[in-house]
Amino acid sequence: MKKIMICGLLLILAASFVMAGTTITIKGSDTLVRLGQRWAEEYMKHNPDVVIQISGGGSGTGIAALLNGTTDICEASRDMKEKEYKLAEDKGIKPYRVSVALDGIAVFFNEANPVEKLSFAQLKGIYTGAIMNWKEVGGEDARIILYGRENNSGTYAFFKKKVLNKEDYNEYTQTLPGTAAVVNAVSKDKNGIGYGGLAWAKGVKFAGVMANDTTEAVLPSVETVSNGTYPISRELYWFFNGKPTGELKKLVNWALSKEGQKIAEEIDYVPLSKEGALANTVK
C-alpha cells in the first residue's frame, strides 16, 4: 500500500516537472483579473508548454509583489506612485509599463432609482458628504447610501483622484471587498450608489456623467470610453521588471494583437484603439 502511494507521489512530482515548461505568474488588480484569466486561457490553448498562474488582490498587492520579485507580471489599474517607483529603484527593479486595455469607471444606482445623470461636481459632493440626500440631485427624499472599495484598490485611488479631486471619501462610505460585492449591494439597496469597472456592472443602472454643467450626460459604454467622450476612464496596465523578453514579450504582444484585444471586447473591457495597441507593442 505504502509503496503504491510513494510511486503515485513520485509520478505526480515527475508529471509536474514535465509540465512546467515555462511558468508565468500574473498578479494584481481585481479589475483586470477577469481579462487576464481569459487571455491566459486562450494563450495556454495556443502554447501548451506555457503555464500561466493568475491571481487578483488589488493593484497595490500586485505592485508589492512585483517589487518583491514574486510575480512576473503585475496587473494594475493605476500607475505606480512616486513612493513605489522610488522603492523599486532601491530594490533594483526597473518597472516597465504597458497599457493593455482601457476601462471606464461606471457610477451606478439601484434600478428603482429615478435619477438618470450626475455631473462631476454632484458626484464629488455625494462622495465627500456635501450632498446627503437624493432630493438634491433630482431624486426621492431619501438619504444617499454610499458604497465603495477598500483603500487597497486601484479603483478607489483612481476615483478619489479623478472625481473627488483628492479629497477624502465620506466616512460613512461602506467599503466592500471587490467590485462584484459593490454591484451586488447596490442592486439590493434602493438608495445605494456605487462605482466600479464597466465590465463588472450587471443588474444595476448606469449613471450618465456630465464632465461639467454645460456638456451632455454620457453613459459609460465600450464605445464612449474608447472614443474618449466618457469622462471617467483610465488605462489598465501590465508592469514588468525590465523590458519583457522571451515568453513574456510573446504574451504581451499577443494580448495587444487584434486577437487579444477582441477577447477583451468580448468580455466587456474596452479595447485600445488600433494605433494605441500598435504603439504599445514591445519591440
Partner 1 sequence: MNRLKFKPKSRVREFLGEKLIAINALAALVAIVLIFAFIFKEAIPIFTDQEIQQEASVDKMTFKQEFYEGRDPKWSWQPNSEVPKYSILPLLIGSLKAALVAMLFAIPLGVGAAIFSAEFASRRWREIIKPAIEMLAGIPSVVLGFFALIILATVMQDMFGFLFRLNAVTAGVALGLAVIPIIFTVAEDAMTSVPSSLRDAGLALGANHWQVSLTVVLPAALPGIAAGVVLGFGRAIGETMIVLMASGNAAIISGSLTDSMRTISASIAAELAEVVFGSAHYSVLFFLGTLLFVITFLINLCGELAVTRMKQRLQGRLS
Residues that bind partner 1 (CB under 8 A): 57-58, 60-61, 64, 83-84, 87, 143, 145, 150-152, 156-157, 160, 166-169, 171-177, 181, 184-185, 188-189, 192
Q: What are phi and psi of 31, to 5 degrees?
A: -70, -35
Q: How far is the CB of 229 from partner 1 (least distance, A)?
A: 30
C-alpha cell read off for 225: 470610453
Q: How far is the CB of 67 from partner 1 (least distance, A)?
A: 8
C-alpha cell read off for 31: 479589475
Q: Which is nearer to partner 1, 27 or 230 (CB)?
A: 27
Q: Which is nearer to partner 1, 60 or 220 (CB)?
A: 60
Q: Which is nearer to partner 1, 165 or 215 (CB)?
A: 165
Q: How far is the CB of 142 from partner 1 (least distance, A)?
A: 9
Q: Which is nearer to partner 1, 166 or 258 (CB)?
A: 166
Separation CA 85–CA 131 (nearest Å)? 37
Q: How far is the CB of 134 from partner 1 (least distance, A)?
A: 13
Give first-to-last CA distance, the chain, whole Å: 56
Q: Which is nearer to partner 1, 62 or 197 (CB)?
A: 62
Q: How far is the CB of 113 from partner 1 (least distance, A)?
A: 15
Separation CA 15–CA 212 (nearest Å)? 60
C-alpha cell read off for 83: 513612493
Q: Which is nearer to partner 1, 77 or 280 (CB)?
A: 77
C-alpha cell read off for 93: 527593479
Q: How far is the CB of 151 from partner 1 (least distance, A)?
A: 4
Burial (CB count <10 Å: 0-12, 13-18, 19+), residue 172: exposed
Q: Which amino acid is at 211?
A: A
C-alpha cell read off for 13: 512530482
List beta partners, residue 26.
Answer: 54, 73
C-alpha cell read off for 105: 469607471
C-alpha cell read off for 117: 445623470
C-alpha cell read off for 100: 493593455
